Amino acid sequence: MELKKATPEQVREIYERDLKVSFPPAELKPVKNILEMMEAGCYRPWCLFDGEEIVGECFLWLGRPGWALLDYLCVSPGRRNGGTGAALLEKMRRAEPETVVLGESETPCYAPDPELARRRLGFYARNGARTAGYDTEMFGVPYKTLYWAPEPIPDETLMEAHRFIYQSRFSPEKYERYVRIPRDGSAEPLPRVEWNE
């Protein structure tokens, strides 16, 4: 299997085939925003190919040089539970050796399926993710913050890079309304709303 960047046409195809069926509306950007970000050079759509077939996606939202957010990790439904997700993460890390990759995984106690959210966190931990000391909230969805880096990184450094990614794309008003970095753990989450930009 080979990791390659997807074309805009391939992104449209896998968005409909994989992402729309795997992510709830509050977690899924409109495909037009993904394509605009690709054109602007701040989005890297890595895909895992088995021959001509795309079997998984690992989309990175780029921040400052050396920083990115793992925006979406998705394995095609027919290829799940067979090691494809682990292979995808490993190949992405090899393709991005100088990049600290931030991640957001739904907080189990707020997830519609808490057991699935716990399994997802376990998957990321088994595949090299470190857990940051702060949580986030985007569009009413609380997340645990993860990151991939060779050494531990102070939370303040992580938060600064994390904020930059969202602030570089959102207006100050939108950031203030929908983004919490860090999330106040004692506060109830905001109402979930569809991702909008």
Q: What CA–CA distance (Å, rounded) separates 58 from 144?
A: 18
Name the amino acid, one letter, at 39: E
What is the mean pLDDT, run by run of 10 residues, along the chain of 197 residues?
96 95 86 96 96 95 96 90 92 96 96 94 97 96 97 98 96 95 93 77
Digit-coded pLDDT (tens) for 37-84: 999 999 999 999 999 999 999 999 999 999 999 999 999 888 888 899
pLDDT of residue 80: 84
Report pLDDT for 23.
86
pLDDT at 197: 52
CATH classification of 2-180, choosing from 3.40.630.30, 3.10.20.30, 3.40.1050.10, 3.30.70.2190? 3.40.630.30
Q: Which among 19, 21, 23 is positioned nearest to 11, based on CA atoms? A: 19
DSSP codes, the chain: -EEEEPPHHHHHHHIIIIIHHHS-GGG---HHHHHHHHHHT-EEEEEEEETTEEEEEEEEEE-STTEEEEEEEEE-GGGTTTTHHHHHHHHHHHH-TT-EEEEEEE-GGGSSSHHHHHHHHHHHHHTTPEEEEEEEEETTEEEEEEEE-SS---HHHHHHHHHHHHHTTS-HHHHHHHEESS--TTSPPPPP-----
Residue 196 is predicted with a pLDDT of 63
Please, what sign has the CA dihedral across residues 5, 89, 107, 137?
negative
d(CA 131, CA 153): 10
> Taking the domains of the chain in order of start, what are their residue ranges?
2-180
Is the torsion defined by CA of 88, 94, 96, 98 positive or negative? Answer: positive
pLDDT recorded at residue 78: 82
What pLDDT score was predicted for residue 170? 93
